[in-house]
């Protein structure tokens, strides 16, 4: 079994990232599995090497280790290009020329989680129209999804299912500036790195059917998935990079590493009191049944 850390180096890690990293590590290590580290630094506008270095120092500071060398997505463009090409061969990709405003106008009503489903407007373009538009605009590239129900059993959330066409719509594989999209890169990398267990926040639950569909198209195995309840800020907000007070730099001024780990482990129901503990000491205490299924507020 191989688990993974997949942080986005667009800033310092916050409490929510620590929560996912600790539990992903415990899930893998308690099953005597491997753990790999992948820095998801595809967006050149947001990601920086110094953030990558900081994330690795922070993981080490917490007592979380990984096997082998860290993998940087920014150095793996060739792999994504090959996968993109394979999808092109299957005729499930098309160029999308919509601007942001057009995209919003051409999208179906908002889903309950605020995500819009792309209408497929550019899917209907003829070959001639496409060629003409390609002269003057750089398109984004979308996967053309079928009317297909994709279901899986999540280790924490139970059965989850989505109809690709209705609930996701045609999604972006490559941005108009040439950057490969998260959905494609994550599938290629999980496959290529031999990841068999994905543990991450439940904000990514609805990306999973898309990723499973891509895995099938690319002949990659499905890993098992565990989507963790989210850790919320004291006032119930979702944690974001801008929440500086729950960022690791700030937390380090108030707590030692075993104190932070202990509080996270207590929140995860792995220990009875929020006492200082190392990740290593938690290994025998980890079990999926103990983990909370509802979102939690950090206090």
Site residues for ligand GLU per CB under 6 A:
6-8, 40, 186, 200, 204
Distance CA 85, CA 82 (A): 5
Residue among 47 and 122 whose Cβ is closer to ligand GLU:
47
Q: Which residue is nearest to ligand GLU (CB)?
A: 200
Nearest approach in angstroms of CB 209 to ligand GLU is: 13
Half-sphere exposure of 46 (CA within 13 A, CB side): 13
Nearest-approach distance from CB 134 to ligand GLU, in angstroms: 31
Q: Which is nearer to ligand GLU, 40 or 58 (CB)?
A: 40
Q: How far apart are the first and last CA of the chain?
A: 33
Q: How far is CA 278 from the centre of its chain?
A: 26
CB of 299 to ligand GLU, least distance (A): 23
Q: How far is the CB of 228 from ligand GLU (least distance, A)?
A: 10
> Helix, strand or coil for residue 227?
strand
CA dihedral 269, 273, 276, 277 (to 10 degrees): -40
The answer for 91, left when phi > 0, alpha when psi is -120 to 50, beta otherwise, is left
CA distances from 208 to 31, 42, 150, 198 (A): 23, 19, 9, 10
- Please, which residue, 95 or 226, has the CB nearer to ligand GLU? 226
We find the least distance from the C-beta atom of residue 11 to ligand GLU, in angstroms, to be 10
Strands 224-228 and 197-201: parallel
User: Considering beta carbons, is residue 169 or 201 the nearer one to ligand GLU?
Assistant: 201
173 vs 179: CA distance, rounded Å: 9
Question: Cα–Cα distance between 296 and 299 in angstroms, integer?
Answer: 9
Q: Between 8 and 229, whose beta carbon lies closer to ligand GLU?
A: 8
Supply the minimum distance, in Å, between the C-beta of residue 136 and ligand GLU. Answer: 34
Compute CA 46 distance to the chain's CA centroid, rounded to the nearest angstrom. Answer: 16
Q: How far is the CB of 8 from ligand GLU (least distance, A)?
A: 4
């Amino acid at each position: 079994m191989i688990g993974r850390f997949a942080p986005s180096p667009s800033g310092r890690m916050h409490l929510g990232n620590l929560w996912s990293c600790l539990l992903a590590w415990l899930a893998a290590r308690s099953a005597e599995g491997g753990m790999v580290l992948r820095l998801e630094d595809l967006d050149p506008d947001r990601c920086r090497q110094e953030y990558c270095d900081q994330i690795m120092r922070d993981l080490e500071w917490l007592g979380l280790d990984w096997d082998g060398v860290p993998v940087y997505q920014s150095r793996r463009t060739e792999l994504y290009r090959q996968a993109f090409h394979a999808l092109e061969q299957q005729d499930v990709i098309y160029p999308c020329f919509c601007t942001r405003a057009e995209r919003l106008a051409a999208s179906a009503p908002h889903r309950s989680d605020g995500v819009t489903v792309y209408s497929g407007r550019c899917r209907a373009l003829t070959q001639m129209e496409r060629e003409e538009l390609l002269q003057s605009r750089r398109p984004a590239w979308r996967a053309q999804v079928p009317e297909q129900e994709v279901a899986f059993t999540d280790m924490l959330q139970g059965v989850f299912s989505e109809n690709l066409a209705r609930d996701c719509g045609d999604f972006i594989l490559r941005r108009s500036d040439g950057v490969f999209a998260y959905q494609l890169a994550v599938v290629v990398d999980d496959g290529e790195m031999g990841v068999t267990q994905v543990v991450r926040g439940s904000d990514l639950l609805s990306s999973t059917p898309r990723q499973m569909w891509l895995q099938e198209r690319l002949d990659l195995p499905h890993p098992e998935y565990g989507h963790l309840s989210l850790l919320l800020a004291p006032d119930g907000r979702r944690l974001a990079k801008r929440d500086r007070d729950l960022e690791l730099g700030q937390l380090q001024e108030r707590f030692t590493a075993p104190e932070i780990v202990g509080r996270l482990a207590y929140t995860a129901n792995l220990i009875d009191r929020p006492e200082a503990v190392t990740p290593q000491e938690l290994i025998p205490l980890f079990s999926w049944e103990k983990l909370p299924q509802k979102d939690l507020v950090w206090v």
